[in-house]
């Protein structure tokens, strides 16, 4: 094989190093991201009971975690654009793992708050920036598919480790300490070998070209493969602010997922069979989220506009089915599944829209700034929807506002696509 062929394909026997980058991204999302974020809920009741405080007082640590993420993102974006990604991502894994380990040793509420801040700083580059930055650098073709596949493992990790954590919590009077400790060890031992020894910032670090270089169709060659604009310039463009709106509102909309079990339970007197399936409703939405991430990735590889329409269309259909046809359990579950697909747009559609609109020249810095809107919204969204549900409008108002959110997101996404930066 010639030297040119080696650089072009970057493979031996058909294998490209980019696949190891994809595996590293999967480990990042399945372990530190899932353990710190997707599995957080199993600790809320046992820890708050141990501390003798209201659940809301303990769960405040999660809001602190989201605020820490928001404040960290612009710094992490700059570092990831200029520094060795092995250093930045390994530091993120170390902080996330350390935060989990320390949570297992906390005995006072303020200590949990401090650990939440530490984990927020650590997990920010892992959940928001690692996957799109690495996939954009290492892949020319199938970018959407790989981003969706990797991000699906935040949900898959939750499916795997929530039962494990629950079993550890139930193993003793303070089993939650053991669960936090095990989660911290898994995070460090399972992820650091990949971020330290496998991850490389760019294909040229290995003397390679990206996966699919020279093979991608014209449709897949956006501004991402032909340069792009710097963050300072992007922030003065209308497309940037359209994507800030998109990221913030789609994050607000996704939080409706947390209240679907409560919606099912609201039928306790009229439809007891629906109320009894409240946990299954949440699982249906989780399944829709995992499958939706891969599905949206595949659709976006063919057409970004189609990805937006498919995601929003599924979300609106899901909301209407859950709202108008709740008495049939199968339809309620189908609606929850469809809503899970629009939930997936948060971490799939947003990075792909940023990549399309502004290219790869300063991608981590631009995407980190856009993501700040989502992180900020994560800190307040649950409170907002709680107030909506407790108001006179109740769950119907929640669904109406959800449809409004998706309409705003559709408009802002299409605006950003139409006003992308010229390469």
Closest by alpha carbon to 258, among 185, 339, 317?
Answer: 339
- Contacts of residue 157, defined as CB under 8 A and 6 or more positions apart, other chains included, come to 29, 30, 31, 33, 34, 35, 38, 39
Centre a 10 Å sphere on the Cβ of residue 29 and count the other Cβ atoms it contains: 27
Centre a 10 Å sphere on the Cβ of residue 3 and count the other Cβ atoms it contains: 8
Closest by alpha carbon to 168, among 150, 153, 184?
Answer: 184
pLDDT in tens, the chain (423 residues): 444 444 445 544 478 999 999 999 999 999 999 999 988 888 888 998 899 998 888 888 988 998 999 999 999 999 998 899 999 999 999 999 999 999 999 999 999 999 999 999 999 999 999 999 999 999 988 899 999 999 999 988 888 888 899 899 999 889 999 999 999 999 999 999 999 999 999 999 999 999 987 665 444 444 444 568 888 899 999 999 999 999 999 999 998 888 888 888 888 888 888 888 877 888 888 889 889 999 999 999 999 999 999 999 999 999 999 999 988 889 999 999 999 999 889 889 999 999 999 988 888 899 999 999 998 898 888 888 988 988 999 999 999 999 999 999 999 999 999 999 875
Q: Which tokens in the block code for residue 373?
A: 């809107």
Dihedrals φ, ψ of 199, to 5°?
Answer: -60, 135
Cα 105 from Cα 118, distance rounded (Å): 14
Distance separating the N- and C-terminal Cα atoms of the chain: 34
Angstrom CA distances, 333 to 284, 323, 358, 394, stand at: 6, 12, 38, 20
Residue ranges and CATH numbers for the domains of the chain are 14-206 (1.20.1250.20), 220-418 (1.20.1250.20)
């Amino acid at each position: 094989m010639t030297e040119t062929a080696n650089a072009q394909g970057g493979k031996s026997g058909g294998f490209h190093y980019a696949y190891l980058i994809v595996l590293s991204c999967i480990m990042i999302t399945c372990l530190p991201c899932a353990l710190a974020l997707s599995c957080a809920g199993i600790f809320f009741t046992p820890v708050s009971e141990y501390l003798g405080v209201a659940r809301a007082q303990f769960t405040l640590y999660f809001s602190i975690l989201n605020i820490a993420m928001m404040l960290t993102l612009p710094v992490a974006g700059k570092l990831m654009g200029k520094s060795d990604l092995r250093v930045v991502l390994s530091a993120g894994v170390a902080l996330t793992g350390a935060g989990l380990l320390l949570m297992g040793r906390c005995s006072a509420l303020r200590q949990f708050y401090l650990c939440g801040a530490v984990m927020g700083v650590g997990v920010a580059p892992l959940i928001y920036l690692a996957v799109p930055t690495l996939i954009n650098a290492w892949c020319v073709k199938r970018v959407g598919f790989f981003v969706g596949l990797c991000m699906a493992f935040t949900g898959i990790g939750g499916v795997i480790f929530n039962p494990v954590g629950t079993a550890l919590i139930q193993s003793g009077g303070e089993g939650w300490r053991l669960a936090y400790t095990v989660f911290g060890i898994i995070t460090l031992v399972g992820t650091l070998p990949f971020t330290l020894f496998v991850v490389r910032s760019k294909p040229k670090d290995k003397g390679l070209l990206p996966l699919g270089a020279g093979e991608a169709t014209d449709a897949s060659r956006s501004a991402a493969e032909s340069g792009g604009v710097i963050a300072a310039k992007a922030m003065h463009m209308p497309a940037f602010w359209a994507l800030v709106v998109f990221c913030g509102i789609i994050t607000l909309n996704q939080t409706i997922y947390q209240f679907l079990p409560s919606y099912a339970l609201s039928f306790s007197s009229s439809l007891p069979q629906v109320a009894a399936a409240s946990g299954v409703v949440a699982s249906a939405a989780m399944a829709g989220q995992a499958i939706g991430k891969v599905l949206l990735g595949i659709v976006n590889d063919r057409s970004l506009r189609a990805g937006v329409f498919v995601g929003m269309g599924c979300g609106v259909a899901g909301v209407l089915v859950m709202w108008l046809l709740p008495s049939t359990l199968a339809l309620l579950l189908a609606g929850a599944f469809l809503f899970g697909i629009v939930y997936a747009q948060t971490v799939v559609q947003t990075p792909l829209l940023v990549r399309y609109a502004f290219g790869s020249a300063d991608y981590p810095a631009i995407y980190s700034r856009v993501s700040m809107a989502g992180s900020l919204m994560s800190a307040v969204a649950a409170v907002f929807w709680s107030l909506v549900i407790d108001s006179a409008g109740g769950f119907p108002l929640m669904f109406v506002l959800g449809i409004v959110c998706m309409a705003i997101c559709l408009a802002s996404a299409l605006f950003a696509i139409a006003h992308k930066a010229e390469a």
